[in-house]
Structure 1
Amino acid sequence: MSVHAAYVLVRLVHFGAIYLLFGLSVYTECLTPASFRGECRARTRTWLLSSSLIAGLGALALLLLQAGQMGNGWSDAWDPATWLAVLGTAFGQVWRWQLVLSGLAVCVALFGPLRYRHTALLLLSILILLCMAFVGHAAVHEGALGVLARFNQAVHLYAGAYWLGCLIPLWLTLSYLKTDRRSEVIRTHVKFSTLGHIAVAGVIVSGMINIDLVLGKWPFHWESAYQRLLLLKMMLVGLMLLLALMNRYVLVPAMNRNSERANRVFGRAVALEILLGIGVLALVSAFATLAPI
């Protein structure tokens, strides 16, 4: 496997772990009723620990792979001198914070006091996501335009992480629909979906602004690999939007009427939405390494 291919793959895993860490934290600590929070924490504990560890390892791996891309391949990926050279670049100056924050998240997840662990991981996931707004195509602008581009990218990341990241704990807690926690689960789903309207709008609007800032035109030029992948991403996001609307306005009302069939279809629809979201992240991981032409 080439260094570039490994970079794309690790970037996908790293992004997925950050989105999951953010989504798990927000869903459990901000959306779930206090009476159901303990069960939700227990149900998602392994996922929270895993996402923290993978985010930390991914941040380190991306530094090594960036060194390999900047140098002469795999030999430079293992060269400490090249690592230091990367840390001296604009990317590296941001990535220092990414490494520190990801390392703190790992320590908190493994050894942090249980009373403060979930709140601390929520705050760290917010900061880790913010770091990602300062690298990539959106970070090439300077001055006032650069501030706008980074702010817009942060909005895009937070909105996307809320939408996709929260789907995992939502899916994990569907089993509680058959227990006495049913009403609390549905209340959490409705709250997630209500705020999800804002997140979806944020993804779409900030995405359109990103296209204008980075590409300067709509991605309809099929000879460009960047534009092909970007357009495919837009199509997958559109499918996710249709599924989200069906879930909120068709299936959730049916679930309130205690429909077993609606419960099953809802679970499958959420799983499909998660798969589409992973596809979106995979496309972003690929075209983010290409020249935006």
Structure 2
Amino acid sequence: MSLASVYIGTRFVHFVSLYVLLGTGIYVECLTPRAARGWSRARSEALLRACALAACVCAFLLLGLEAGQMGSGWPDVHDPSTWRAVLGTAYGRVWRWQLGFSVAAAVCALAGARPWRRPALLWLAAAMLGCMAFVGHAASHTGEQAVLAGAVQLAHLYAGAYWLGGLPVLWLTLEGLNDGRRAAVVHTHVRYSWAGHVAVALVIASGAVNTGLVLGTWPWHWASLYQLLLSLKIALVALMALAAVVNRYVLVPRMRLDSAAAARWFGRLVLTEITLGLLVLALVSWFATLEPA
């Protein structure tokens, strides 16, 4: 397997882990009513722990893979001197923070039932995802444009993590519709959905600005692999938004009337959104390694 393929796959797992860490933290700690929060924490515990540990492992793997790409391939992936050289670059100065936050998150994930643990993981997830705004294409600008690109990328990442990262825990808590927690489950989803309107708008607007900053044009030139993959990402995000609209404005009102059919279709559409979101992150992980053209 090529170094580039492993790098893309590791980036994908890293992005998914960070998105789910932040989205789950917001959904459970900020949106779920206090009376149902303990149950939601229990439902999402295994997912949260897996994502924290995966994010930590991927952060170190990405450093090694970056060293391999900067150096002479696989031999430099595990060469400490090449790692030190990478850590001395602009990318490396950001990645030092990523590694520190990732280790702290892994420690929190393994810390057991401590009252500070979940809030700490939420803030660490925000910090880790924030680091990603300052590496890659968005970090290639200088001066005032660099400030704008960083702010836009932060908005894009945080809005995307809220939207996509909150979906797995939403799906995991759907069984509460059938065991006396219906009111809390529906209430949490409605709160998630209202803020989700802003998140979807931010994803679309910041994505358009990012495209303008990186390409200077709309990605119509599909002979370019970068622009083709970016166009596919845009189409998938549009399908995700359509599924979210159907869920919120067609199925949720029916769920409030205790419609079992509506609840089943709601769950299926949530899984559809998750699948589309994973495809979006896979495309991002791929075209982020390509030269914009």
What TM-score, normalized to structure 1? 0.99
Q: Secondary structure of the residue that 1:104 maps to in structure 2? A: helix
2:17 corresponding residue in structure 1: 17
2:140 corresponding residue in structure 1: 140
Runs of 4+ deviating beyond 2 Å: none
1:254 corresponding residue in structure 2: 254
How many angstroms does 1:282 deviate by? 0.2
How many angstroms does 1:113 deviate by? 5.6
C-alpha distance after superposition, 1:146-178 (max 9, x if no partner): 001000000000000000000010000001100
Distance in 2 (CA, whole Å) between partners of 1:257 and 1:106 is: 42
User: Aligned Cα RMSD in Å?
Assistant: 0.7
Distance in 2 (CA, whole Å) between partners of 1:200 and 1:91 is: 29
1:56 corresponding residue in structure 2: 56
Amino acid at match of 1:254: R
1:186 corresponding residue in structure 2: 186
How many angstroms does 1:112 deviate by? 6.0
Amino acid at match of 1:236: L
Distance in 1 (CA, whole Å) between partners of 2:33 and 2:203 is: 26
Q: Secondary structure of the residue that 2:134 maps to in structure 1? A: coil
2:282 corresponding residue in structure 1: 282
2:235 corresponding residue in structure 1: 235
Identity rate, percent: 56
C-alpha distance after superposition, 1:77-102 (max 9, x if no partner): 01111111111111111000000000
2:27 corresponding residue in structure 1: 27
Q: Secondary structure of the residue that 2:217 maps to in structure 1? A: coil
2:204 corresponding residue in structure 1: 204
How many angstroms does 1:125 deviate by? 0.7
How many angstroms does 1:184 deviate by? 0.4
Amino acid at match of 2:202: G
C-alpha distance after superposition, 1:28-67 (max 9, x if no partner): 0001000000000000001110000000001000000001
Alignment of 1:76-155 (within 5 A): 76-111=76-111, 114-155=114-155
Distance in 1 (CA, whole Å) between partners of 2:171 and 2:5 is: 31
Amino acid at match of 2:288: A
Distance in 2 (CA, whole Å) between partners of 1:110 and 1:123 is: 16
Distance in 2 (CA, whole Å) between partners of 1:202 and 1:222 is: 25
Q: Tell me, which stretches of 5 or more residues in structure 1 are unaligned?
A: none
How many angstroms does 1:68 deviate by? 0.7
1:264 corresponding residue in structure 2: 264
Q: Tell me, which stretches of 5 or more residues in structure 2 are unaligned?
A: none
Q: Secondary structure of the residue that 1:154 maps to in structure 2? A: helix
